[in-house]
Chains A and B, each alone.
Chain A
Amino acid sequence: MWRVTLKGLLAHKLRLALTALAIVLGITFIAGTFVLTDTLHNTFTSLFGNVYQNVDLQVRGVAQLGSSGGSATRNALPQSLVASVRAVPGVAAAEGSVQGLNVQYVSPQGKAISTGGAPNIGVSFDPDQRVSALRLAQGGPPTTPHDVVMDLGTAQKYGFKVGQTVRILLPFAPPADFTITGLARFGTANNLAGATLAAFDLPTAQAILNRVGTVDSIDVVTSPGADKARVQRAIARILPPGVEVVTGQTVANEQTSAINSALAFFNTALLVFAFIALFVGGFTILNTFSIIVGQRTRELALLRIVGASRRQVFRSVLGEAAVVGLLSSLIGLGLGVLAAMGLEALLGAFGVTLPSGPLVFEGRTVVVCLIVGVGVTVVSAISPARRAVRIAPVAAIAEQQTEADIPLRRRFTWGAGITLVGIVALAYGLTKPLIELVGLGAVLIFIGVARLAPAVARPMSSVIGRPMAGMLGMSGRLGRENSMRSPRRTAQTASALMVGLALVSAIAVFGASLSGSAVSSINDALNADLIVTPVSNVSGAVPNAVVPVAAAAPGVTASSSIYTGKFELKGELNTLTATSTKDLSKTVNLAMAEGTSGSLAAGQLLIDTTTASAKNLHVGNVVPVTFAETGRSTMRIGGVFKANALIGRYLVSDGFYRAHYASTELPVAVLLRTDGSPTAEAAVTHALSGYPNLKVQTKAQFEQSQRAQVNQLLGLVYALLALAVIIALIGIVNTLMLSVFERTHEIGLLRAVGMRRRQVRAMIRSESVILAVFGAVIGIVVGTGLGIALSSSLRSQGITDIVVPVSSLVVFLVLAAVLGLIAASWPARRAARLDVLAAIASE
């Protein structure tokens, strides 16, 4: 029996290849993701190990808010502490250092240098190479207030040389020119994953980063032969409260795990898309094996006649699936390694130069890929295998070939049941919220709808095919008839595309609702005419020096700065917004639901309606809060404002903010009101011409850029979903190829009585377009439902408007039709090339 299976496989290499392709692509995605993230993990672990290899101990502020890892908020130390630590017996060297963000180079072309949102870091350069994370590659250390050491990555990319002058945009001072005294690596890497780095001598760095008289941490090297643990205890004894001393290894581990949790998120996100692709691949496998079992009815029945048991037939079909799954997974693994290399190169092309390291190929990658690849294939083949088992031996000699199929009623009951369970799971998951349950619900809905689809396949194909029959005459007519021929085949083929388009549509609805809500609430909340924001909106900020310059521009009548900061409310980490109170109403329109905005000036906290109802807070309530620099205190809630995306959930005055965030106080945006004169915008732009890291936008432009941000994210998700759609198209190609093969004789007859090749192609294409549009229609309907459900469940998170982007959905539909045409090109060519005579003779 095993030999029959293998022979069957080898006899149909093309069929094997097409079926395998769906799985190969999915596994490639998984393997590539694992190899890439494992490699990055390994690289960063060894990078941080290298950077901290000589640092024995580090003195630093105790973590203040939220997490205690590498990304925790810590307070600065008095610089005098450096000398005290140095004096501890067993300490060979101790150097204080500072670091901060928004220290940005200006390129020779006058552009602010930034790499896809990676931070622009400014640090102090440790003269002692033992404690320094920076390793000088060329030149020497910075010694005067006008010296800078640049990271090698930026220097290479923009052609900076030692001795040249470079302009740097500074957070707390106007832009200034510096002389490059040296180029340095971060540990072994030319830069830190795309971040730029500017190193100054300690006093200069302190001035630039608003840290005069303080350091962020003190790196310690112990004397040779000293007991490090004892030195650590000795240092701990002299430290003031709120300061700790940890080993260099601890710091390295924290940095690594901070990067790794980001990598883990990246890994999970990519794997989700890989599994979506495989899920769609599963439909393709199911469909292919169904058709194959149908076409092999006679052969399988003959096997039964000569004595094969039901179980042997079942195993034969599943065995074929297992072999296909195994081969595909192995190919996918190989391609995955190539894909990881390609992705790394792609990131490099975007300027994210990663520290070079060998590709990491874990045993886990192989195991997961093989299990998933074989698993998906075999599970998908179970239903066709059961159908094969039901073939009666007499089918071998029967005149009429009838496909064994589950009765429509039972299929319908099952389909409806699964869909309902899916809807319930989804609804429950959304309200909880439980993301796993949402995913499970969506999967069940897809499976349920796919089981229901055959019931509507015939009438829907008929409707979709009507215009085609009208346009293409007999070819369209026949294409339509062919698509109506086997509702199950049509539905299964279309189901794969259904899943892909459902996800795309759901994301489109969600994205439109998100940007619609954001734009409308910003529109309501914004009174300003011009908005000044950093070009890079990931980690950027507006230099402090800009605020008075912008406010003084001719035509500007009022300005307020917007700040953000982390704090804890009732022990929970949150982000607050701060704004100037003086001209508040001229720039921001706070629709107060309770209390007054005037309470801001009195140092009270304003919250939005969503937070108020979620936490059951009202005006007059006093809540416990914690700030990193000033510690625990309480705040009175002075008002509740209508939720809007501009302000966020918590609002305080700028005065309050300055008192609690002295060292990091930088606006994220400056809002300007003008006298309405058309020259005001040009005046502001001119006033800020020395700041290429800033952009000045009108209200309309600002809204547009908010929308663009959401669209950019959508674009990324669409790109990741494209693989699922491609696999669905492979499914269509596969079905059409099998159908053409099955209808060889019929096509030969049509050719004999005068059908032109062009007409044959048009016939196959019509069928393909009908399949694709059928899948797309169901997908768009299901996806719109999912998107609306998802958006509605996030009402409390600020998605107030549900927007169904009809034009996008129509574009998807048209795109699906075009993709159907493309999928048909190969089968259509094959059908048109059929040797008429051979087709007629194959009786």
Chain B
Amino acid sequence: MTLAEPAPAGQRSDAPAARAVELRKTYGSGAATVHALAGITVTFDRARFTAVMGPSGSGKSTLMHCMAGLDRPTSGQAYVGSLDIAGLDDSDLTQLRRDRIGFVFQSFNLVPTLSAGENITLPADLAGRKVDRDWFDYLVTQLRIGDRLSHRPTELSGGQQQRCACARALINRPDLVFADEPTGNLDSNSSSEVLEFMRRSVTEFGQSIVMVTHDPRGAAFADRVVFLADGDIVDELAAPTADSILEHMRTLG
């Protein structure tokens, strides 16, 4: 099978970027059973910026991990494009993550022995693929890290590190980027920079992004907010603003 659907922008199939159907993830057994995901069904559209919110322990990270091929659901299906990833083995999942998904984590995003530039091209290098130089230059210029490329991660500020992580997430032009609290450790200035870049990448070249966040102001950059509680979707909000999100959170309690 081939995982890489030929997917230059604009020619992609009509399938949504990713989709979960009746996704269930259970930890433990008996009295100690925890339903991290309680049969969740959700669709993430193409060229859309979706924020996932919810209290701690509501299953946000678990949802992301199961949909990104980092973890296996107990039952249900997860699709990336039209590909059901439940049937993939470790090798195929690795290739899927490398070629079709981008990641930004809350911290420890970069390999300490590689320079910033090498970290950005890491997925391409792992695939043994030539880096699209124009694309690379565009990303580092947009993210204002062009003068930091030869530095090691320890020599970068937290904001610069997260911007490198963003560039790395996008370098392979993935179908979908998952970001798990990417601004959780950043001050508000750095946060805005990262969030503005993500917003632009959705608007300007149709990137699909799913971002987990606690911050209503961050979620306000998204096109749509999905609210999770106890492993299922309890509500959602289109074209959110910080105020409307706060309002919603209050009503949800």
Q: Which chain A residue lies CB-closest to B72?
A: A837
Contact (A757, B94) CB under 8 Å given A752-B70, A752-B103, A837-B65: yes
Q: Which of A284-327 contact B (CB under 8 A)?
A: none
Taken together as a complex, chains A and B put the C-alpha atoms of A751 and B107 apart, in Å, by: 16
Residues of A within 8 A of B114 (CB): 478, 481
Q: Which B residues, 106 to 143, have Cβ-Cβ distances below 8 Å to chain A?
A: 106-114, 122-123, 125-128
State whether A754 and B95 are in contact (beta carbons under 8 Å apart), knowing that A837-B65, A840-B70 are contacts in the complex: yes
Q: Are B108 and A474 in contact (CB under 8 A)?
A: no
Could you say which residues of chain B place their CB within 8 Å of the CB of A753?
97-98, 103, 122-123, 126, 168
Report, as a range, how many residues of chain B touch the other chain: 20 to 34
Assess whether A485 is in contact with B103, with CB atoms less than 8 Å apart.
no
Q: How far is the CA of A478 from the CA of B113 in the complex (A)?
A: 7
Q: Which residues of chain A are near B122, meaning CB under 8 Å?
A: 474, 750, 753
Measured between beta carbons, the chain A residues less than 8 angstroms from B99 are 754
Q: Closest chain A residue to B90 by CB distance?
A: A757
- Judged by a CB distance under 8 angstroms, whether A843 is at the interface is yes
Which of A482, A753, A836 is the most central at the interface, judged by chain B CB atoms within 10 Å of its CB?
A753
Smallest CB gap from A758: residue in B: B91
> Is B71 part of the contact surface with A, judged by Cβ < 8 Å?
yes
A485 to B109, CA, bound (A): 19
Those of A729-753 within 8 Å (CB) of chain B: 745-746, 749-753
Give the CA-CA distance A752 to B107 in the complex, in Å: 14
Encode A678-696 as 1/0 by CB contact (under 8 A) with B. Answer: 0000000000000000000
Look across to chain A and name the residue whose beta carbon is closest to the beta carbon of B102: A753
Considering only CB atoms, which chain A residue lies closest to B100 in the complex?
Answer: A754
CB distance A749 to B109 under 8 Å? Answer: yes
**A-side contacts of B90, CB under 8 Å:** 757
If A473-B125, A473-B128, A840-B70 touch, does A752 touch B97 (CB 8 Å cutoff)? yes
B105 at the interface (CB under 8 A from A): yes
Flag whether A759 is at the interface (Cβ < 8 A).
Answer: yes
CA distance A536 to B92 in the complex (A): 64
Which of A481, A754, A843 meets B94, CB within 8 Å?
A754
Is the C-beta of A432 less than 8 angstroms from some C-beta in chain B? Answer: no
Residues of A within 8 Å of B98, CB to CB, are: 753-755
**Is the Cβ of B168 less than 8 Å from the Cβ of A749?**
no
List chain B residues, Cβ under 8 A from A754: 94-95, 97-99, 123, 126-127
Interface centre among B106, B109, B111, B128 (most CB of A within 10 A): B111
B107 / chain A contacts, CB cutoff of 8 Å: 843
Residues B71 and A749 in contact, CB atoms below 8 Å apart: no
Verify if A756 is at the interface (C-beta below 8 Å from B).
yes
Question: For B111, what are the chain A residues with a Cβ–Cβ distance below 8 Å?
Answer: 478, 746, 749-750
Report yes or no: A481 in contact with B113, Cβ–Cβ below 8 A: yes
* Interface mask (A784-826 → B, CB under 8 Å = 1, otherwise 0): 0000000000000000000000000000000000000000000
Rounded to whole angstroms, the CA-CA distance of A746 and B105 in the bound complex is: 12
CB distance from A131 to the nearest CB of B (A): 81
Chain B residues with Cβ under 8 A from A746's Cβ?
108, 111-112
A759 and B91 CA atoms in complex are apart in Å by: 11
| Chain B residues, Cβ within 8 Å of A755 | 94, 98, 126
CB distance from B223 to the nearest CB of A (A): 26
B94 close to A482 (CB less than 8 A): no
| Chain A residues, Cβ within 8 Å of B70 | 752, 836-837, 840
- Contact present for B113 and A485 (CB under 8 Å): yes
**How many Å lie between the Cα of A754 and that of B128 in the bound state?**
11
Chain B residues contacting A836 (CB-CB under 8 Å) are 70
- Considering only residues 447-503 of chain A, those with a C-beta below 8 Å from chain B are 473-474, 477-478, 481-482, 484-485
Distance between Cα atoms of A477 and B122 in the complex (Å): 11
Alpha-carbon distance A751/B90, docked complex (angstroms): 10
Chain B residues lying within 8 Å of A400, measured Cβ to Cβ, are 154
Are B128 and A840 within 8 A (Cβ)?
A: no
Per the bound structure, the CA–CA distance linking A407 and B110 in Å amounts to 29
Tell me the bound Cα distance from A750 to B105 in angstroms. 12
- The distance in angstroms between the C-alpha atoms of A837 and B70, with both chains bound, is 6
Kindly report which residue of chain A lies nearest to residue B115, judged by CB atoms.
Answer: A481
Q: How far is the CA of A473 from the CA of B126 in the complex (A)?
A: 8
Partner of A474, one of B65, B95, B110, B125: B125
Bound Cα distance from A756 to B168, whole angstroms: 17
Contacts of B94 in A (CB 8 A): 751, 754-757
What residues of chain A lie closer than 8 Å to B105, measured between beta carbons?
749, 752, 840
- A728-B153 Cα distance, complex, nearest whole Å: 33
Pairs A–B under 8 Å by Cβ, sample size 19: A473-B128, A474-B122, A474-B126, A474-B128, A478-B111, A481-B114, A484-B113, A746-B112, A749-B108, A750-B111, A751-B94, A752-B70, A752-B105, A753-B98, A754-B94, A756-B91, A756-B95, A843-B107, A843-B108
For the complex with contacts A753-B168, A837-B70, 13 further pairs of A-B residues with Cβ separation under 8 Å are A473-B125, A473-B128, A474-B125, A478-B111, A481-B113, A746-B108, A749-B105, A753-B122, A754-B127, A755-B126, A757-B94, A840-B70, A843-B107
Binding site for A on B (CB under 8 A): 65, 70-71, 90-91, 94-95, 97-99, 103, 105-114, 122-123, 125-128, 154, 168
Nearest 9 pairs of A and B residues by beta carbon: A754-B98, A481-B113, A474-B125, A754-B123, A756-B94, A754-B97, A837-B71, A754-B126, A474-B126
